[in-house]
Amino acid sequence: MKRRNCPIGYAGLAILFFLSAPIKAQIPPHSPDRSHALLNEPVDISGDFRDFANTYYLADSLAGFDPSSGTGKIIYRRYECSTRQAFNNMLAALRPVQPNEFPTVEYAASPALSFSVEFVSQKTIRIRAATGFQVKPDPESIMLIGGRPKKDDSWKYSRIGEGHQYTGPHGSVMIRTKPWHVEIRDAAGRLLTRTVHLSDVDQSTYTPVLPFSFVRRASDYSRSVSAVFTLSPDERLFGCGESFTRLDKRGQKVVLWADDANGVQNETLYKPVPFFFSSRGYGMFMHTSSPVTCDFGKYFNGVNSLMIGDDELDLFIFLGKPKEILDEYTDLTGKAAMPPLWSFGLWMSRITYFSEQQVRDVAGRLRKNKIPSDVIHLDTGWFETDWRCDYEFSTTRFRDPAKMISNLRTDGFNICLWQLPYFVPKNRLFQEIVDKGLYVRDAKGGIPCEDATLDFSNPQAVAWYQERIAGLLKMGVAAIKVDFGEAAPHTGIYASGRTGFYEHNLYPLRYNQAVADVTRRITGENIIWARSTWAGSQRYPVHWGGDAENTDTGMQAQLRGGLSLGLSGFSFWSHDIGGFVLNTPEELYRRWLPFGMLSSHSRCHGAPPKEPWEYGESFMDAFREAAELKYRLMPYIYAQAKDCTERGLPMLRALFVEYPDDPGSWLVEDEYLFGSDILVAPMLENTAERDVYLPPGKWIDYQIGGIYSGGWNRIQHGKIPAVILVREGAALPHADLAQSTMLIDWSKIDLVVFASESDKADGLICLPSDKELVPVHLEKRGGAFSVTGSPLKDGVRINPVLYSEFK
């Protein structure tokens, strides 16, 4: 049946809202026109808030509020969509409407529904609002640490003339009675944002704007919330997961639905996360697994419309600067576990190695050519039939996989294996999965798609799956590639009792957790290699950036995606160096290498060839130099990684995370901080120099030694084709070069001091033996820097050296 869209324009009635007319001439891959919907197409629920058939309930006033518990009720007024013709335009508006239920005495025209405000910490507020009766009003959530949030009783209540106020050391929450508003302010009393009421928009603009409300669908009586908040001039918004569009989401519409994006230059997301934060000093986490559509001022510049598929609002609001918000959000949903040291080394791969001989040859040539590396990844070709995942090595092409893995481990190589949770009918495991009922069902009890999809909401399916993964890990495999996971059937019925409307987005989190848990149980290490996510997936590192195009714009979009994911609570991230889709052009590969090596995790993967010797001696020399840079910096990388796990920070870091008071840093999306002290500006085009924005202070060129001041600078890259700068006053720990992380000598650390004017410097060191993060301070005495105190245990020698003297 065709949808009955409500093309509302200004008509002088109660309230108006928008319609985007469907384009019939050309349907994009992910079309808003549902008559052309494709399998697993992202679910954009915004159309339900502009449908003539639906009923709309607008938040109006507060009733019966109990300050001691923070609970009360919101009275909602009922509206419907109608039309009016004016000056050759058919306009539409919402107008008040009487109940359409029978018996009329049984149903409220203006229902009073539960609302609450709670406090999780001194910087975290929780707002909840129901749209009807809830069978399970407070279920445990796998998105949250411990299933439920903590409670904080430090906020102080006061009665104000027009409502209620709670005040904490970092801000306040004001609840106004009529018209109903929730206002969020900082500690100085500055308004950060507030809910939008009908009275805020019905007279102040000719543009139709839908206020805070919920919709009841005529098609099935389901309900969804539109939590609508104000936006301020020059306010910027960041997050939503690994989004490849512009880093600042202000003015964009983002659909949060896990999707095989098939590239990195479109608006869909492998890794949606229902969290964002504002340059104004607050963040929001929409605690739901339903589809979410965020209109961040795209339709109306001053309004942030969070259209949430769920039939209740559960919204966490965080106060503070970016670091504080990320810390609070990851306190709630979990911080990244610390990955093993070897995972920070180079991963060599292609799609795909097919035999034991190929794997041994690649390992041998890496060592022969002195290219430091720690991991060889086998993609889809290690089974008897390419892509047909049955968790067993091919017997015709792998003579003795256990011995191969053991031999390579002795030489400093770890093995990673590809797999996926979808089983084609020809897979020998297909019938077993069906017979044991381990699959996602359709409405008839059958299989919704061609493949059997494992149901990770079913504990029996998880146990069956983990048994097969455990067999590989016990053989000596170090890591499992957790590929796909974005195509859990939307209409499927899951063992949890819910449909894909609520389980689809949770699927990546359940999938990530299943592999991470069994890996930790067997190997004791925190490592997976995953593509899809939801809120909470950051607990299970590492995630990589999907199938990037082998182009300059693909490289740039991949960087935006990594920065965006880091601004969504993920500490660790990687990408396919050089791009995935085609044979990487040598010139692009050279420029992409330093970006890849100066990411937390570094993998060369994609269409062959990827091995450096396939490009000739000159390229192999350049490749080696980029890899050696990472291995010499391994003590810095490991310490920064540990710091990230403790504070919820990303290794690949937008400039404003460290410099929130610098307006220019909020504008930059083509540079990044690698940890706290190194600034990297990749060469996104084949040029010798580029414009680089530097935050306040002095910055020293890591390769050349030039000194630059904050602001815009035109800078040439060094021998390694990237601009790499270090913060004045930073001390970067280095190690002697080793061909594998297992060969690094941690008893001797060169602490390279980047100081042109400073008499003091600081850095971080973390030894893999004890995994304890230690701050190190240095002072200049007699023309040389020395470490103050004895920060490290006996047997570890720290050698301070000035950057100009370091080789």
Which positions are catalytic? 483, 486, 547
Please give the backbone phi and psi of residue 590, each rounded to the nearest 5 degrees, phi first: -60, -45
CA distances to 92, 200, 351 from 203, rounded to whole Å, are 16, 7, 59
Q: Which residue is associated with the tokens 């870091």?
A: 653
Q: Which residue is associated with the tokens 């791009």?
A: 579
Angstrom distance (rounded) from CA 172 to CA 190: 10
Angstrom distance (rounded) from CA 313 to CA 227: 8
Angstrom distance (rounded) from CA 709 to CA 372: 34
Please give the backbone phi and psi of residue 246, each rounded to the nearest 5 degrees, phi first: -50, 140
Structure tokens of 191? 């308004």
Structure tokens of 483? 């590929």
Q: Which spans in 569-613 are helix H?
A: 586-597
Dihedral, CA of residue 518, residue 520, residue 523 and residue 525, to nearest 10: 140
801 within 8 A of 780, measured Cβ to Cβ: no
Enumerate the β-bridge partners of residue 499. 493
Angstrom distance (rounded) from CA 512 to CA 460: 17
CA dihedral for 620, 625, 626, 630, sign (positive or negative): positive
Q: Which residue is associated with the tokens 């996926």?
A: 420
Kindly report the length of the chain. 807
239 closest CA partner among 565, 486, 576, 10: 565
CA dihedral for 549, 552, 557, 561, sign (positive or negative): positive
Angstrom distance (rounded) from CA 801 to CA 114: 63
Residues whose CB is less than 8 angstroms from the CB of residue 256 and which lie 6 or more positions away in sequence, other chains included: 240, 241, 269, 272, 273, 274, 291, 292, 293, 294, 505
Structure tokens of 678? 């190194």
594 closest CA partner among 508, 722, 479: 722
- The kind and range of the H/E element at 466 are helix 459-475
Look up residue 584 and give its DSSP letter: P
